[in-house]
Amino acid sequence: MSGTALVTGASRGIGRAIAQALAEEGFTVACFARDRAKLEETQALIEAARGKASVHTGDVGSDSDLEALVEEVNATHGSLDVLVNNAGITEGEPASKISPERFREILNINLVAPYVLSRAAHPIMKAQGSGVIINISSVYASQGVANNSPYCTSKAGLEGMTRALAREWVKDGVRVLGVAPGFVRTDMVANAFGGTEVEKLVVSRIPMKRFGEAEEIGRFVAFLATNKAGFVTGETLVIDGGQRSLL
């Protein structure tokens, strides 16, 4: 494949793995996050593997930053063929301790930002006659989990938005789909309960008896971004080692 892919939250974890996998598929990858140094690490990894990447920084919570980002990527690379809305935040607190302001902040980053980016990317993709938007959701969108209500709400909304935009933009040659990972071995997960009894309990409930790896998510997303998955749109596909399907 060739073309340009924009990945938000590409400075680490799943976002970095997605960026690397897209580069392996032949895309030039525009990597976006706040931390330039970490983004440059992602860029170096891609270029060491003979891929192409560019670094773009900004605030995912700022509409103006996101709209400028899309314009910058299109101007720099001459196209925008794939958008991966990966950046997100979570909050591990009971609902009684999460203020309405914090709830709105999480929805703004996890749900509104993907909408702003998708809306900005759509005219470019429509003019090209093709494009793919992939929203990174979570199994928590359908399962729900205690002490994380804004995250679950935002991801459920993201899946609804995926279905709606897929129907609206299919006539323009734009595919919109989602990927919902389960537990994936990232720094965030390791910091939360790596090596603890909680980790053992979580793993015991996954039919494959292990966490996923960021690289597995990356390769799956990259496949969906290519013409190999050209008949897929409107769906959010689960990749969780069988956890949700076998509950």
Cα gap 138→131, rounded to integer Å: 23
DSSP class of 53: E
Nearest to 86 by CA among 21, 156, 195, 178: 178
Q: Is 151 a catalytic residue?
A: yes
107 vs 89: CA distance, rounded Å: 9
DSSP letter at 31 equals E
DSSP states of 121-160 as a string?
HHHHHHHHT-EEEEEE--THHHH--TT-HHHHHHHHHHHH
Q: For residue 170, give the DSSP letter.
A: G
- What is the DSSP code string of 59-101? -TT-HHHHHHHHHHHHHHHS---EEEE-------S-GGGS-HH
Residue 153 Cα to chain centre, angstroms: 16
b/e map 215-242, b = 16+ CB within 10 Å: bbbbbbbbebbbeebeeebebbbbbbbe
Per the residue annotation, which of 151, 169, 183, 211 is the catalytic one?
A: 151
Q: Which two tokens stand for residue 210?
A: 């292990």
Distance from C-alpha of 77 to C-alpha of 6, rounded to nearest angstrom = 11
From CA 212, how far away is CA 130, in angstroms rounded? 31
Among all residues, which ones are annotated catalytic?
151
